[in-house]
Amino acid sequence: MNYIEAEYAKMERRVKKIRENPDPTKLKATAMLYELEMELRAHELEAWKEGKPFCFGPNIPALITSMGFNYLPIQNEADRVTNADKYFDILRTKGYPDHHCDRTIIGVGMVLAQDVPVPAMTIAVNQACDPIMLMGHTIGQYYSPHHFCIDIDAVHDEASERLLSYTTDQLGEWVEFAESRVLGIKYNEDRMVELTAMDKEACDYLRDIYELRKRSPCPLSGQDVFRLPRNPSQFPNPQKVVDYYRTLRDEIGERVERGQGVVKEEKVRIMWTITAPYFADVFKLLENQGASVVHFQVGGAARFFGTRGYFGDENEYGRMLTPLEDQARTLTMNSWAGLANRWVDDTIYFCKELNVDGIVNFEQWGCVAAVLTRKVVQDRVEAELGIPNLFVEGRNLDTSTFDMRDFQERMEHFVGVCIERKAQRTAA
């Protein structure tokens, strides 16, 4: 059973469990999401069987799918792997390092294992971080028949016409390159505009959900907060994905109206950053102590939740962007692909917006984008907000470095510090 078949089977089991034994403490909309995932996997398996082209590229599925590719975000798929040892063994056999960022090196292993389609087109881009870009280079140069590179010119903090033009021109060059190299690929701007509109509508619902997370008690569990959103344009039935986000927004809104939180007595509110050990339920440890995880801070959070412009926004550049510029815009302001100020400033912004009482920085090995800012984050939030930081070094897929007892003890101590510090701030 390859990875996509395994994902289909996993989602099928989850849907069956939810339908037969519904848990009133869980979101009902989650079953809709799992069913959409099943549809996506069935679609991918059929496309793979028929030899249709897949493209591994940045988070612009509306453009990629509108050209006739099947979008394949390999680093995001790596996050879902349940048997990482298999891929680590393959990588070591082939001479690849096993101490890199897990989600990026595992992505190479998935291609080597033929557990995902070999992309007909690979785009390497420094949109988020160098490890993801290097994964794109590796797959593209050694395994994919066609490879293209895009430079975001990441040494910037603010949007500019120069930056937008620079990135848009390269997307245009990639469109021409793909059309000339891959049979059946043709840019369809009308379809891209249609898909982009649905991506925007989904993002609008995500921003509504973000506003609901400001309420205390937080209406979402840490596991739900941690779930990275995916664009409707990635799915075979994108309108159904939009419907899911609307249903999710409404269900969370009903929880807020009832004053229902996941934590019985919300003592403190925690921000989690970077990644987490996917093989352990770390958020439950916090929730059992009265700590709500109200935000997952990753590089794309600013675009999803409103601190940066997204599809259709006219304020960022003071004008309506062209369809291709709108796609390019989403590549330019990831908090990890730029100067350290952007990551730190966005982190502080969300702390203020969501009344965060403490930050758990899970420092993934090989995550050069975030690990190198640890002292800057700590100093700024301590000085400006008076909230503590906990730095946890670990891996999100390799279980060999994880000690649950030690982790639990550190979480318990940290929550105690957050509660004490919050009392001090309140008294002052």
Q: What is the mean pLDDT of the chain?
A: 93
Give the pLDDT of residue 309. 86
Return d(Cα 265, Cα 392) in angstroms, integer.
Answer: 26
Q: In this predicted structure, what is the pLDDT of residue 140?
A: 95
Per-residue pLDDT at 264 = 86
> 306 pLDDT exceeds 80?
no
Per residue in 36-51, pLDDT tens? Answer: 999 999 999 999 999 9
Output the pLDDT for position 336: 86
Q: What is the pLDDT of residue 144?
A: 96
pLDDT at 400: 86
- 389 membership: H or E segment, kind and range: strand 389-394
Is the pLDDT reported for residue 24 higher than 90? Answer: no
Residue 296 pLDDT? 95
Neighbours of 384 (CB within 10 A): 11
The per-residue pLDDT for 394 is 87
Residues 348-376: tens digit of each pLDDT = 999 999 999 999 999 888 887 777 788 88
Give pTM, 2 decimals.
0.95
169 pLDDT above the threshold of 90? yes
Domain ranges of the chain: 3-189
**pLDDT value of position 77:** 94
Instruction: Provide mean pLDDT across the span 128-144.
Output: 92
Tell me if the bond preceding 145 is cis, omega within 30° of 0: no
Q: Taking residues 227-256, what's their average pLDDT?
A: 97
